[in-house]
Amino acid sequence: MPSWLKASSSARSSIARLGEVMRREIILSGAGGQGLILAGAILAEAAGVFEGKEVVQTQSYGIQARGGASQSTVIIEECRIRFPEVLTPDVLLCLSQEAHEQYGPRLRADGFLVVDQDLVSAYSARADITVLAFPFTAEAERLNSRISANMVALGALAAVTGLVKLESLARAISGRLPEHHVAQALEALESGVELAEAAKATSNDRD
């Protein structure tokens, strides 16, 4: 079950702030083989190609192609990007405990920490951020496609933060992935949206 781990009123305030800032910095992090480089490229394409924003996307791998650390950074800005490096991300996605420990301290105040609740067992105790935990990998396994956890996470991330429109992500997926993988990826994206909506509904019921 997804969980909205901080007071929903605070989360809504953070979402409002994220929508107002001109520059948004995002880190998608985890282990090699989880598809985070692809997820970052799709996010950047959705914002830059289909929404006309300025974007910069970079990536890094660990020593091993699979299992080592992997991260993709995306900067989305309404005007020219003058500094193409992420220093204090607004949004941090972590699909491994190692990624959380490495990047968590860099998350800015009022930022969003989004984690896979089955792969990140210890969350940040910071009181100035919003923490969201979802069963991304478990949901991908339910869809019989563990490798689609990145698309599940991308759907939830977009639904929660409003960084890009979901239709822009769908268009980027359709243009970037091989045709025989598109339907599965879009199903995973929609599942991520549903996880986010379920968390929002649960939070609203508690208010």
Q: What are phi and psi of 157, to 5 degrees?
A: -60, -45
* Residue with the two structure tokens 């956890």: 149
Other beta carbons within 10 angstroms of residue 115's beta carbon come to: 28
Element containing residue 46 per DSSP (H, E): helix 36-48
Domain boundaries, position 35? 3-206
Q: Is the pTM of this model over 0.75?
A: yes
In terms of pLDDT, which residue wins out, 79 or 64? 79
CA 180 vs. chain centroid, Å, equals 24
SS3 (DSSP) at 116: strand
pLDDT tens, residue by residue, 120-146: 988 777 889 999 999 999 999 999 998
How many domains would you assign to the chain? 1
The CA radius of gyration of the chain, in Å to the nearest whole number, is 16
Query: What would the pLDDT profile of 72-124 be if each residue is shown by its tens digit?
Result: 999 999 989 999 899 899 999 999 999 999 999 999 999 999 999 999 988 77
Per residue in 156-192, pLDDT tens? 999 999 999 999 999 999 999 999 999 999 999 999 9
Residue 202 has pLDDT above 50, yes or no: yes
Q: Where residue 148 sits, what CATH number does that domain have? A: 3.40.920.10
pLDDT at 203 over 70: no
The count of C-alpha atoms lying within 13 angstroms of the C-alpha of 28, restricted to the half-sphere facing its C-beta, is 29
